[in-house]
A and B are shown apart, each in its own frame.
Chain A
Amino acid sequence: MTLVADLWNSLVEFTRKAGAFTLFTLKLLAVAPAALRRFGLVVAQVHNTGALSLVIIMLSGLFVGMVLGLQGYDLLQRFGSEEALGVAVALALLKELGPVVTALLFAGRAGTALTSEIGLMKATDQLSAMEMMAVDPVKRVCAPRFLGGVVAMPLLAAIFSMIGLFGAQLVGVQLMGVDPGQFWSQMRGAVGLEDVMEGVVKSIVFGFACSAIAVYEGFHAAPTAEGVGRATTRTVVTSSVAVLVLDYMLTAVFL
Protein backbone atom coordinates (compact mmCIF):
# COMPACT_ATOMS: atom_id res chain seq x y z
CA MET A 1 0.00 0.00 0.00
CA THR A 2 2.85 2.33 0.90
CA LEU A 3 4.58 1.46 -2.36
CA VAL A 4 1.46 2.39 -4.35
CA ALA A 5 1.15 5.63 -2.42
CA ASP A 6 4.82 6.45 -3.01
CA LEU A 7 4.47 5.73 -6.72
CA TRP A 8 1.37 7.89 -6.90
CA ASN A 9 3.11 10.74 -5.07
CA SER A 10 6.12 10.47 -7.36
CA LEU A 11 3.85 10.59 -10.40
CA VAL A 12 2.02 13.65 -9.07
CA GLU A 13 5.33 15.37 -8.28
CA PHE A 14 6.75 14.55 -11.71
CA THR A 15 3.61 15.89 -13.40
CA ARG A 16 3.74 19.05 -11.30
CA LYS A 17 7.39 19.67 -12.19
CA ALA A 18 6.81 18.91 -15.87
CA GLY A 19 3.94 21.40 -15.87
CA ALA A 20 5.99 24.06 -14.10
CA PHE A 21 8.87 23.54 -16.55
CA THR A 22 6.52 23.78 -19.54
CA LEU A 23 4.96 27.00 -18.25
CA PHE A 24 8.38 28.47 -17.54
CA THR A 25 9.63 27.54 -21.02
CA LEU A 26 6.53 29.09 -22.60
CA LYS A 27 7.20 32.29 -20.67
CA LEU A 28 10.82 32.21 -21.85
CA LEU A 29 9.63 31.93 -25.45
CA ALA A 30 7.08 34.71 -24.92
CA VAL A 31 9.70 37.16 -23.64
CA ALA A 32 12.44 36.01 -26.05
CA PRO A 33 11.57 38.55 -28.79
CA ALA A 34 11.86 41.40 -26.26
CA ALA A 35 15.17 39.97 -25.03
CA LEU A 36 16.42 39.73 -28.62
CA ARG A 37 15.86 43.45 -29.05
CA ARG A 38 18.56 43.96 -26.41
CA PHE A 39 21.05 42.21 -28.61
CA GLY A 40 24.06 43.12 -26.48
CA LEU A 41 22.78 41.03 -23.56
CA VAL A 42 22.34 37.97 -25.81
CA VAL A 43 25.78 38.41 -27.40
CA ALA A 44 27.33 38.58 -23.93
CA GLN A 45 25.67 35.28 -23.06
CA VAL A 46 26.79 33.65 -26.33
CA HIS A 47 30.28 34.62 -25.18
CA ASN A 48 29.70 33.27 -21.65
CA THR A 49 28.18 29.95 -22.69
CA GLY A 50 29.94 29.50 -26.03
CA ALA A 51 33.32 31.14 -26.18
CA LEU A 52 34.22 30.17 -22.63
CA SER A 53 33.38 26.51 -23.43
CA LEU A 54 35.60 26.46 -26.52
CA VAL A 55 38.71 24.96 -24.94
CA ILE A 56 36.95 21.95 -23.42
CA ILE A 57 34.93 21.42 -26.62
CA MET A 58 38.00 21.55 -28.88
CA LEU A 59 40.08 19.33 -26.65
CA SER A 60 37.27 16.77 -26.32
CA GLY A 61 36.58 16.91 -30.07
CA LEU A 62 40.23 16.26 -30.87
CA PHE A 63 40.49 13.18 -28.67
CA VAL A 64 37.06 11.79 -29.61
CA GLY A 65 38.10 12.10 -33.28
CA MET A 66 41.45 10.42 -32.60
CA VAL A 67 39.77 7.52 -30.78
CA LEU A 68 37.28 7.19 -33.65
CA GLY A 69 40.21 7.10 -36.06
CA LEU A 70 41.89 4.31 -34.13
CA GLN A 71 38.78 2.21 -33.52
CA GLY A 72 37.45 2.81 -37.03
CA TYR A 73 40.75 1.81 -38.61
CA ASP A 74 40.94 -1.35 -36.45
CA LEU A 75 37.41 -2.36 -37.45
CA LEU A 76 37.58 -1.46 -41.14
CA GLN A 77 40.93 -3.10 -41.82
CA ARG A 78 39.36 -6.45 -40.84
CA PHE A 79 37.19 -6.09 -43.93
CA GLY A 80 39.89 -4.46 -46.04
CA SER A 81 37.96 -1.18 -46.15
CA GLU A 82 40.35 1.23 -44.43
CA GLU A 83 39.72 3.83 -47.14
CA ALA A 84 36.12 4.20 -45.83
CA LEU A 85 37.50 5.55 -42.54
CA GLY A 86 36.74 9.16 -43.53
CA VAL A 87 33.08 8.38 -44.26
CA ALA A 88 32.60 6.40 -41.07
CA VAL A 89 34.16 9.06 -38.87
CA ALA A 90 32.36 11.94 -40.60
CA LEU A 91 28.93 10.33 -40.31
CA ALA A 92 29.51 9.35 -36.69
CA LEU A 93 30.64 12.86 -35.77
CA LEU A 94 28.13 14.89 -37.78
CA LYS A 95 25.03 12.82 -37.02
CA GLU A 96 25.68 11.58 -33.47
CA LEU A 97 28.83 12.24 -31.52
CA GLY A 98 29.20 15.92 -32.43
CA PRO A 99 25.77 17.04 -31.18
CA VAL A 100 25.48 14.52 -28.32
CA VAL A 101 28.94 14.85 -26.77
CA THR A 102 28.87 18.62 -27.22
CA ALA A 103 25.49 18.75 -25.47
CA LEU A 104 26.75 16.63 -22.58
CA LEU A 105 29.83 18.83 -22.22
CA PHE A 106 27.66 21.93 -22.57
CA ALA A 107 25.40 20.71 -19.74
CA GLY A 108 28.42 20.07 -17.55
CA ARG A 109 30.23 23.31 -18.22
CA ALA A 110 27.84 26.06 -19.38
CA GLY A 111 24.63 24.58 -17.92
CA THR A 112 26.01 24.35 -14.40
CA ALA A 113 27.44 27.87 -14.71
CA LEU A 114 24.02 29.22 -15.73
CA THR A 115 22.21 27.42 -12.92
CA SER A 116 24.62 28.43 -10.19
CA GLU A 117 24.78 32.05 -11.42
CA ILE A 118 21.00 32.47 -11.45
CA GLY A 119 20.62 30.47 -8.22
CA LEU A 120 23.14 32.69 -6.44
CA MET A 121 21.41 35.80 -7.78
CA LYS A 122 18.25 34.46 -6.18
CA ALA A 123 19.97 33.55 -2.91
CA THR A 124 21.44 37.06 -2.61
CA ASP A 125 18.08 38.76 -3.33
CA GLN A 126 19.26 40.15 -6.68
CA LEU A 127 16.23 38.71 -8.47
CA SER A 128 13.89 40.05 -5.76
CA ALA A 129 15.58 43.43 -6.07
CA MET A 130 14.90 43.39 -9.82
CA GLU A 131 11.25 42.56 -9.20
CA MET A 132 11.10 45.45 -6.74
CA MET A 133 12.54 47.71 -9.44
CA ALA A 134 9.66 46.56 -11.69
CA VAL A 135 12.08 44.60 -13.87
CA ASP A 136 11.00 41.08 -14.85
CA PRO A 137 13.95 38.77 -14.01
CA VAL A 138 12.75 36.17 -16.52
CA LYS A 139 13.02 38.75 -19.29
CA ARG A 140 16.19 40.47 -18.05
CA VAL A 141 18.20 37.52 -16.66
CA CYS A 142 16.79 34.20 -17.90
CA ALA A 143 15.82 34.93 -21.53
CA PRO A 144 19.23 36.29 -22.68
CA ARG A 145 20.98 33.31 -21.10
CA PHE A 146 18.55 30.88 -22.69
CA LEU A 147 18.97 32.48 -26.12
CA GLY A 148 22.74 32.61 -25.70
CA GLY A 149 22.77 28.84 -25.09
CA VAL A 150 20.49 28.10 -28.05
CA VAL A 151 22.79 30.11 -30.35
CA ALA A 152 26.05 28.79 -28.92
CA MET A 153 25.21 25.10 -28.99
CA PRO A 154 25.13 24.50 -32.81
CA LEU A 155 28.31 26.55 -33.19
CA LEU A 156 30.07 24.47 -30.55
CA ALA A 157 28.80 21.21 -32.12
CA ALA A 158 30.13 22.34 -35.53
CA ILE A 159 33.53 23.13 -34.04
CA PHE A 160 33.54 19.80 -32.18
CA SER A 161 32.84 17.86 -35.39
CA MET A 162 35.44 19.83 -37.35
CA ILE A 163 38.17 19.28 -34.77
CA GLY A 164 37.08 15.63 -34.46
CA LEU A 165 37.57 15.11 -38.21
CA PHE A 166 40.98 16.69 -37.92
CA GLY A 167 41.84 14.29 -35.07
CA ALA A 168 40.60 11.24 -37.04
CA GLN A 169 42.64 12.35 -40.04
CA LEU A 170 45.67 12.81 -37.84
CA VAL A 171 45.46 9.22 -36.57
CA GLY A 172 44.05 7.52 -39.69
CA VAL A 173 46.14 9.22 -42.35
CA GLN A 174 49.28 10.41 -40.58
CA LEU A 175 49.67 7.52 -38.10
CA MET A 176 47.99 4.49 -39.68
CA GLY A 177 48.79 5.30 -43.28
CA VAL A 178 45.32 5.52 -44.81
CA ASP A 179 45.51 7.20 -48.21
CA PRO A 180 44.59 10.89 -47.74
CA GLY A 181 42.90 11.12 -51.15
CA GLN A 182 40.66 8.15 -50.33
CA PHE A 183 39.98 9.52 -46.84
CA TRP A 184 38.71 12.90 -48.05
CA SER A 185 37.17 11.98 -51.42
CA GLN A 186 35.07 9.11 -50.04
CA MET A 187 33.88 11.43 -47.29
CA ARG A 188 32.87 14.11 -49.81
CA GLY A 189 31.08 11.57 -51.93
CA ALA A 190 29.10 9.84 -49.19
CA VAL A 191 28.22 12.62 -46.76
CA GLY A 192 25.20 14.60 -47.95
CA LEU A 193 23.55 17.80 -46.83
CA GLU A 194 20.83 15.80 -45.05
CA ASP A 195 23.51 14.24 -42.81
CA VAL A 196 24.83 17.66 -41.90
CA MET A 197 21.31 18.98 -41.30
CA GLU A 198 20.53 16.09 -38.97
CA GLY A 199 23.42 17.17 -36.77
CA VAL A 200 22.43 20.84 -36.97
CA VAL A 201 18.81 20.12 -35.99
CA LYS A 202 19.91 17.89 -33.14
CA SER A 203 22.32 20.46 -31.78
CA ILE A 204 19.67 23.20 -31.89
CA VAL A 205 17.17 20.96 -30.04
CA PHE A 206 19.81 19.95 -27.49
CA GLY A 207 20.80 23.60 -27.02
CA PHE A 208 17.16 24.51 -26.43
CA ALA A 209 16.67 21.69 -23.91
CA CYS A 210 19.95 22.15 -21.99
CA SER A 211 19.60 25.95 -21.76
CA ALA A 212 15.94 25.81 -20.69
CA ILE A 213 16.71 23.19 -18.02
CA ALA A 214 19.72 25.13 -16.70
CA VAL A 215 17.82 28.41 -16.50
CA TYR A 216 14.74 26.76 -14.97
CA GLU A 217 16.74 24.98 -12.27
CA GLY A 218 18.61 28.17 -11.36
CA PHE A 219 15.46 30.26 -11.22
CA HIS A 220 13.66 27.71 -9.04
CA ALA A 221 16.62 26.81 -6.81
CA ALA A 222 16.10 27.02 -3.07
CA PRO A 223 17.84 30.27 -2.05
CA THR A 224 20.52 28.57 0.06
CA ALA A 225 24.00 27.20 -0.62
CA GLU A 226 22.63 23.67 -0.44
CA GLY A 227 19.70 24.56 -2.69
CA VAL A 228 21.96 26.01 -5.38
CA GLY A 229 24.22 22.95 -5.18
CA ARG A 230 21.29 20.59 -5.61
CA ALA A 231 19.91 22.63 -8.50
CA THR A 232 23.29 22.47 -10.23
CA THR A 233 23.39 18.69 -9.85
CA ARG A 234 19.84 18.41 -11.18
CA THR A 235 20.84 20.46 -14.21
CA VAL A 236 23.57 17.98 -15.18
CA VAL A 237 21.46 14.88 -14.55
CA THR A 238 18.27 16.13 -16.20
CA SER A 239 20.08 17.65 -19.18
CA SER A 240 22.11 14.49 -19.80
CA VAL A 241 19.05 12.23 -19.70
CA ALA A 242 17.05 14.68 -21.83
CA VAL A 243 19.82 14.79 -24.46
CA LEU A 244 20.01 11.00 -24.74
CA VAL A 245 16.21 10.57 -24.90
CA LEU A 246 15.84 13.38 -27.44
CA ASP A 247 18.71 11.92 -29.47
CA TYR A 248 16.91 8.60 -29.81
CA MET A 249 13.66 10.32 -30.80
CA LEU A 250 15.33 12.57 -33.36
CA THR A 251 17.35 9.72 -34.83
CA ALA A 252 14.15 7.70 -35.26
CA VAL A 253 12.56 10.68 -37.02
CA PHE A 254 15.49 11.22 -39.38
CA LEU A 255 15.99 7.55 -40.34
Chain B
Amino acid sequence: MPAADTTGPGSGPVDSTLDAPAASPPSGSASSAEPLVRLRDVAYWVGGRAIFDGLDFEVARGKVTAVMGPSGTGKTTLLRLITGQLRATRGTVTVAGEDVGRLDERGLYRLRRRMGMLFQNGALLTDLDVYENVAFPLREHTQLPESLVSRLVLMKLQAVGLRGAARLMPAELSGGMARRVALARSIVMDPELLIYDEPFAGLDPIAMGVVLRLIRDTNDALGLTSIVVSHDVHEIGLLADVTYLLSGGKVVASGAPVELREHESPMVRQFMNGLADGPVPFHYPAPDLAAQLLDREVAG
Protein backbone atom coordinates (compact mmCIF):
# COMPACT_ATOMS: atom_id res chain seq x y z
CA MET B 1 0.00 0.00 0.00
CA PRO B 2 1.47 3.36 -0.99
CA ALA B 3 2.18 5.93 1.67
CA ALA B 4 -0.53 8.51 2.17
CA ASP B 5 0.07 11.88 0.58
CA THR B 6 0.09 14.33 3.46
CA THR B 7 0.94 17.46 1.53
CA GLY B 8 -2.67 18.45 1.07
CA PRO B 9 -5.12 18.49 -1.79
CA GLY B 10 -3.89 19.62 -5.12
CA SER B 11 -0.26 18.88 -4.45
CA GLY B 12 1.79 16.80 -6.83
CA PRO B 13 3.76 13.69 -6.04
CA VAL B 14 5.83 13.88 -2.85
CA ASP B 15 9.27 15.35 -3.64
CA SER B 16 11.91 13.12 -2.16
CA THR B 17 14.70 15.74 -2.18
CA LEU B 18 15.52 17.16 1.24
CA ASP B 19 16.26 20.58 -0.17
CA ALA B 20 12.91 21.42 -1.68
CA PRO B 21 10.94 24.01 0.29
CA ALA B 22 8.53 22.28 2.64
CA ALA B 23 4.80 22.54 2.16
CA SER B 24 3.17 25.19 4.33
CA PRO B 25 1.35 23.79 7.38
CA PRO B 26 -2.09 24.98 8.42
CA SER B 27 -1.89 28.56 9.64
CA GLY B 28 -1.30 29.05 13.34
CA SER B 29 0.55 25.83 13.95
CA ALA B 30 4.27 25.68 14.63
CA SER B 31 4.87 22.56 12.60
CA SER B 32 8.36 21.20 12.28
CA ALA B 33 7.83 21.30 8.49
CA GLU B 34 7.57 25.09 8.59
CA PRO B 35 10.88 26.87 7.94
CA LEU B 36 12.39 28.34 11.09
CA VAL B 37 13.52 31.42 9.16
CA ARG B 38 11.73 32.88 6.18
CA LEU B 39 12.45 36.07 4.22
CA ARG B 40 9.88 37.15 1.68
CA ASP B 41 10.53 39.82 -0.97
CA VAL B 42 13.01 41.55 1.31
CA ALA B 43 14.65 44.80 0.25
CA TYR B 44 17.30 46.60 2.25
CA TRP B 45 18.69 49.95 1.15
CA VAL B 46 21.65 51.85 2.55
CA GLY B 47 22.29 55.42 1.38
CA GLY B 48 20.33 54.97 -1.85
CA ARG B 49 22.06 51.66 -2.67
CA ALA B 50 20.14 48.39 -2.62
CA ILE B 51 21.92 45.65 -0.69
CA PHE B 52 18.92 43.37 -1.25
CA ASP B 53 15.98 43.82 -3.57
CA GLY B 54 13.35 41.10 -3.68
CA LEU B 55 15.26 38.53 -1.63
CA ASP B 56 13.51 35.25 -0.81
CA PHE B 57 15.25 32.93 1.62
CA GLU B 58 14.26 30.03 3.87
CA VAL B 59 15.99 27.97 6.52
CA ALA B 60 14.53 24.54 7.18
CA ARG B 61 14.40 23.29 10.76
CA GLY B 62 17.13 20.91 11.81
CA LYS B 63 19.32 21.63 8.80
CA VAL B 64 22.66 23.37 8.36
CA THR B 65 22.02 26.10 5.80
CA ALA B 66 25.00 27.86 4.27
CA VAL B 67 25.03 31.34 2.77
CA MET B 68 27.81 32.06 0.30
CA GLY B 69 28.63 34.81 -2.11
CA PRO B 70 31.31 37.25 -3.22
CA SER B 71 32.50 39.87 -0.74
CA GLY B 72 30.11 42.77 -0.32
CA THR B 73 26.99 40.86 -1.36
CA GLY B 74 25.39 41.37 2.04
CA LYS B 75 25.85 38.02 3.76
CA THR B 76 26.45 39.60 7.17
CA THR B 77 23.64 42.08 6.47
CA LEU B 78 21.37 39.09 5.91
CA LEU B 79 22.29 37.74 9.35
CA ARG B 80 21.65 41.13 10.91
CA LEU B 81 18.21 41.24 9.29
CA ILE B 82 17.41 37.80 10.68
CA THR B 83 18.55 38.75 14.18
CA GLY B 84 16.73 42.08 14.11
CA GLN B 85 19.88 44.20 14.37
CA LEU B 86 18.74 45.75 11.08
CA ARG B 87 15.19 46.30 9.81
CA ALA B 88 14.23 45.47 6.22
CA THR B 89 13.20 48.41 4.04
CA ARG B 90 10.53 46.20 2.47
CA GLY B 91 9.26 42.65 2.88
CA THR B 92 8.98 40.38 5.88
CA VAL B 93 11.56 38.54 7.97
CA THR B 94 9.99 35.77 10.03
CA VAL B 95 11.87 33.79 12.66
CA ALA B 96 10.12 31.01 14.59
CA GLY B 97 6.78 32.42 13.46
CA GLU B 98 7.53 35.97 14.66
CA ASP B 99 7.74 38.93 12.29
CA VAL B 100 11.11 40.40 13.29
CA GLY B 101 10.31 43.79 11.74
CA ARG B 102 7.30 44.27 14.00
CA LEU B 103 8.97 43.35 17.28
CA ASP B 104 9.84 46.04 19.80
CA GLU B 105 13.10 45.90 21.79
CA ARG B 106 11.62 43.64 24.44
CA GLY B 107 10.19 41.31 21.81
CA LEU B 108 13.52 41.17 20.00
CA TYR B 109 15.38 40.29 23.19
CA ARG B 110 12.79 37.58 23.91
CA LEU B 111 13.35 36.15 20.43
CA ARG B 112 17.13 36.37 20.73
CA ARG B 113 17.06 34.17 23.80
CA ARG B 114 16.11 31.43 21.34
CA MET B 115 19.11 32.21 19.12
CA GLY B 116 22.86 31.96 19.45
CA MET B 117 25.36 33.75 17.29
CA LEU B 118 29.02 33.06 16.75
CA PHE B 119 30.87 36.13 15.55
CA GLN B 120 33.84 36.01 13.19
CA ASN B 121 36.35 36.84 15.94
CA GLY B 122 34.45 35.11 18.75
CA ALA B 123 33.53 38.43 20.41
CA LEU B 124 34.42 37.10 23.85
CA LEU B 125 34.14 39.60 26.70
CA THR B 126 37.77 40.48 27.26
CA ASP B 127 37.46 41.30 30.96
CA LEU B 128 36.05 37.86 31.80
CA ASP B 129 37.83 34.50 31.71
CA VAL B 130 36.65 31.57 29.59
CA TYR B 131 34.47 30.13 32.38
CA GLU B 132 32.76 33.46 33.08
CA ASN B 133 32.24 34.11 29.36
CA VAL B 134 30.32 30.86 29.00
CA ALA B 135 28.44 31.51 32.25
CA PHE B 136 27.55 35.06 31.17
CA PRO B 137 24.12 34.33 29.57
CA LEU B 138 23.16 32.09 32.50
CA ARG B 139 24.03 34.77 35.04
CA GLU B 140 22.14 37.44 33.04
CA HIS B 141 18.97 35.49 32.37
CA THR B 142 18.60 32.90 35.12
CA GLN B 143 18.74 32.64 38.90
CA LEU B 144 20.36 29.21 38.83
CA PRO B 145 22.45 28.20 41.86
CA GLU B 146 26.20 28.40 41.36
CA SER B 147 26.56 24.61 41.49
CA LEU B 148 24.22 24.22 38.50
CA VAL B 149 25.84 27.08 36.58
CA SER B 150 29.19 25.39 37.13
CA ARG B 151 27.93 22.04 35.83
CA LEU B 152 26.36 23.59 32.73
CA VAL B 153 29.46 25.63 31.92
CA LEU B 154 31.83 22.71 32.38
CA MET B 155 29.60 20.45 30.25
CA LYS B 156 29.55 22.97 27.41
CA LEU B 157 33.30 23.52 27.67
CA GLN B 158 33.81 19.76 27.66
CA ALA B 159 31.71 19.55 24.48
CA VAL B 160 34.07 21.95 22.70
CA GLY B 161 37.16 20.35 24.24
CA LEU B 162 38.20 23.33 26.35
CA ARG B 163 37.26 22.37 29.91
CA GLY B 164 40.94 22.60 30.77
CA ALA B 165 41.08 26.20 29.55
CA ALA B 166 38.29 27.41 31.85
CA ARG B 167 40.46 29.88 33.72
CA LEU B 168 42.33 31.32 30.75
CA MET B 169 41.61 34.88 29.66
CA PRO B 170 40.48 35.54 26.05
CA ALA B 171 43.84 37.16 25.24
CA GLU B 172 45.52 33.82 26.02
CA LEU B 173 43.46 31.88 23.45
CA SER B 174 44.25 31.14 19.81
CA GLY B 175 41.70 32.11 17.15
CA GLY B 176 40.32 28.59 16.94
CA MET B 177 40.05 28.27 20.73
CA ALA B 178 38.27 31.63 20.98
CA ARG B 179 35.71 30.46 18.45
CA ARG B 180 35.17 27.21 20.34
CA VAL B 181 34.60 29.14 23.57
CA ALA B 182 32.18 31.41 21.72
CA LEU B 183 30.39 28.30 20.45
CA ALA B 184 30.11 26.96 24.02
CA ARG B 185 28.71 30.33 25.12
CA SER B 186 26.20 30.43 22.28
CA ILE B 187 24.78 26.98 23.11
CA VAL B 188 24.72 27.35 26.90
CA MET B 189 21.10 28.61 26.82
CA ASP B 190 20.06 25.75 24.51
CA PRO B 191 18.95 27.90 21.52
CA GLU B 192 16.82 26.72 18.60
CA LEU B 193 18.82 28.63 16.00
CA LEU B 194 22.58 29.02 15.80
CA ILE B 195 24.11 31.57 13.45
CA TYR B 196 27.76 31.47 12.43
CA ASP B 197 29.38 34.48 10.77
CA GLU B 198 32.51 33.37 8.87
CA PRO B 199 33.42 30.63 11.39
CA PHE B 200 36.43 29.42 9.36
CA ALA B 201 38.05 32.80 8.60
CA GLY B 202 41.71 32.94 9.55
CA LEU B 203 41.91 29.43 11.03
CA ASP B 204 44.66 26.89 10.36
CA PRO B 205 43.53 23.59 8.75
CA ILE B 206 43.41 21.72 12.06
CA ALA B 207 41.37 24.40 13.84
CA MET B 208 39.15 24.63 10.75
CA GLY B 209 38.48 20.89 10.88
CA VAL B 210 37.69 21.08 14.59
CA VAL B 211 35.24 23.96 14.16
CA LEU B 212 33.64 22.25 11.16
CA ARG B 213 33.10 19.04 13.13
CA LEU B 214 31.75 20.97 16.12
CA ILE B 215 29.21 22.85 14.00
CA ARG B 216 27.91 19.64 12.46
CA ASP B 217 27.92 17.65 15.70
CA THR B 218 26.33 20.45 17.71
CA ASN B 219 23.58 20.84 15.15
CA ASP B 220 22.80 17.14 15.04
CA ALA B 221 23.26 16.30 18.73
CA LEU B 222 21.18 19.20 20.04
CA GLY B 223 18.61 19.17 17.22
CA LEU B 224 19.36 22.77 16.29
CA THR B 225 18.97 24.73 13.11
CA SER B 226 22.15 26.40 11.87
CA ILE B 227 22.94 29.18 9.42
CA VAL B 228 26.57 29.42 8.33
CA VAL B 229 27.93 32.38 6.38
CA SER B 230 31.23 31.52 4.76
CA HIS B 231 33.45 31.89 1.69
CA ASP B 232 35.01 28.47 2.13
CA VAL B 233 33.56 26.38 -0.69
CA HIS B 234 35.29 23.15 0.34
CA GLU B 235 34.26 23.32 4.01
CA ILE B 236 30.68 24.28 3.15
CA GLY B 237 30.57 21.30 0.78
CA LEU B 238 31.37 19.03 3.72
CA LEU B 239 29.08 20.76 6.20
CA ALA B 240 25.92 22.17 4.69
CA ASP B 241 22.64 20.48 3.87
CA VAL B 242 21.47 23.44 1.79
CA THR B 243 23.52 26.25 0.29
CA TYR B 244 22.34 29.63 -0.93
CA LEU B 245 24.56 31.65 -3.24
CA LEU B 246 23.91 35.39 -3.12
CA SER B 247 24.90 37.97 -5.68
CA GLY B 248 23.54 41.35 -6.68
CA GLY B 249 21.10 41.41 -3.79
CA LYS B 250 19.36 38.18 -4.79
CA VAL B 251 19.72 34.43 -4.46
CA VAL B 252 21.34 33.28 -7.71
CA ALA B 253 21.38 29.57 -6.83
CA SER B 254 20.34 27.27 -4.02
CA GLY B 255 20.42 23.56 -3.30
CA ALA B 256 22.73 20.89 -2.00
CA PRO B 257 26.42 21.81 -2.33
CA VAL B 258 26.90 19.11 -4.98
CA GLU B 259 24.11 20.68 -7.05
CA LEU B 260 25.79 24.06 -6.90
CA ARG B 261 29.08 22.60 -8.06
CA GLU B 262 27.33 21.26 -11.16
CA HIS B 263 25.31 24.44 -11.72
CA GLU B 264 25.42 25.87 -15.26
CA SER B 265 25.24 29.55 -14.34
CA PRO B 266 28.58 31.28 -15.15
CA MET B 267 28.30 33.26 -11.90
CA VAL B 268 27.89 30.09 -9.82
CA ARG B 269 30.69 28.31 -11.68
CA GLN B 270 33.03 31.25 -11.17
CA PHE B 271 32.37 31.31 -7.44
CA MET B 272 32.41 27.56 -6.83
CA ASN B 273 35.63 27.10 -8.85
CA GLY B 274 37.35 30.25 -7.60
CA LEU B 275 37.92 31.72 -11.08
CA ALA B 276 39.56 35.15 -11.11
CA ASP B 277 37.51 36.54 -13.99
CA GLY B 278 33.93 36.06 -15.07
CA PRO B 279 30.60 37.71 -14.27
CA VAL B 280 32.39 39.16 -11.26
CA PRO B 281 35.14 40.98 -13.21
CA PHE B 282 38.79 40.99 -12.19
CA HIS B 283 39.11 44.67 -13.12
CA TYR B 284 37.33 47.42 -11.28
CA PRO B 285 35.40 49.51 -13.87
CA ALA B 286 37.82 51.91 -15.58
CA PRO B 287 38.23 53.71 -18.92
CA ASP B 288 40.10 51.99 -21.75
CA LEU B 289 43.78 51.51 -20.77
CA ALA B 290 45.27 52.57 -24.16
CA ALA B 291 43.09 55.67 -24.33
CA GLN B 292 43.99 56.62 -20.77
CA LEU B 293 47.73 56.15 -21.40
CA LEU B 294 47.57 58.19 -24.61
CA ASP B 295 45.68 60.95 -22.80
CA ARG B 296 48.44 61.05 -20.19
CA GLU B 297 51.13 61.31 -22.87
CA VAL B 298 49.30 64.15 -24.62
CA ALA B 299 48.74 65.94 -21.33
CA GLY B 300 52.39 65.38 -20.33
Please give the residue numbers on chain A whose beta carbons come within 8 Å of chain B beta carbons, in ascending order. 121, 124-126, 128-136, 140
Contact = CB atoms under 8 A, between A and B. Distances in A.
A125 B170 CA distance: 14
Given A132-B83, A134-B113, A136-B109, A124 B141 contact: no
Chain B interface mostly: mixed
Contacts of A133: 112, 136-137, 140, 185, 189
Contacts of B117: 129, 132
A128 B125 CA distance: 11
Contacts of A124: 121, 123, 126
Query: Which of A121, A125, A133, A135 counts the most B-chain CB atoms under 10 A from its CB?
Result: A133
Give 7 nearest A-B pairs by CB, closest first: A129-B123, A125-B123, A134-B109, A132-B117, A134-B112, A125-B119, A134-B113
B105 to A, nearest CB: 8
B85 interface: yes
Contacts of A131: 85, 112
Contacts of B110: 134
B85 to A, nearest CB: 7
Nearest to B80: A128
A128 B105 CA distance: 14
Given A133-B140, A134-B110, A134-B112, A128 B85 contact: yes
Given A133-B112, A134-B110, A136-B109, A125 B121 contact: yes
A115 to B, nearest CB: 16
Interface string B36-59: 000000000000000000000000
A177 B136 CA distance: 61
A9 B83 CA distance: 34
Chain A interface mostly: helix
Contacts of B109: 134, 136
A239 B203 CA distance: 43
A228 to B, nearest CB: 14
B123 A126 contact: yes
Contact of B140 (A121, A126, A140): A140
B68 interface: no
B85 A126 contact: no
Interface in B89-114: 105, 109-110, 112-113
Contacts of A136: 105, 109
A133 B191 CA distance: 10
Given A124-B126, A126-B126, A128-B85, A135 B121 contact: no
Interface string B72-86: 000000000001010
A168 B36 CA distance: 72
B143 to A, nearest CB: 13
A55 B124 CA distance: 32
A107 to B, nearest CB: 23
B299 to A, nearest CB: 30
Given A133-B137, A133-B140, A134-B141, A128 B119 contact: yes
Contact of B119 (A121, A129, A134): A129
A182 to B, nearest CB: 52
A168 to B, nearest CB: 40
Interface string B136-179: 11001100000000000000000000000000000000000000
A131 B110 CA distance: 11
A128 B119 CA distance: 9
B184 interface: no
B115 interface: yes
A136 B182 CA distance: 19
Given A128-B85, A128-B123, A132-B112, 19 more contacts: A121-B126, A124-B121, A125-B119, A125-B123, A126-B126, A128-B119, A129-B125, A130-B125, A132-B83, A132-B85, A132-B117, A133-B137, A133-B140, A134-B109, A134-B112, A134-B113, A134-B137, A135-B137, A136-B109
Nearest to B108: A134
Query: Which of B119, B120, B123, B182 counts the most A-chain CB atoms under 10 A from its CB?
Result: B123
Contacts of B85: 128, 131-132
24 contacts: A125-B119, A125-B121, A125-B123, A126-B124, A126-B126, A128-B85, A128-B119, A128-B123, A130-B125, A131-B85, A132-B112, A132-B116, A132-B117, A133-B136, A133-B137, A133-B140, A134-B112, A134-B137, A135-B136, A135-B137, A135-B140, A135-B141, A136-B109, A140-B140
Contacts of B116: 132
A134 B116 CA distance: 10
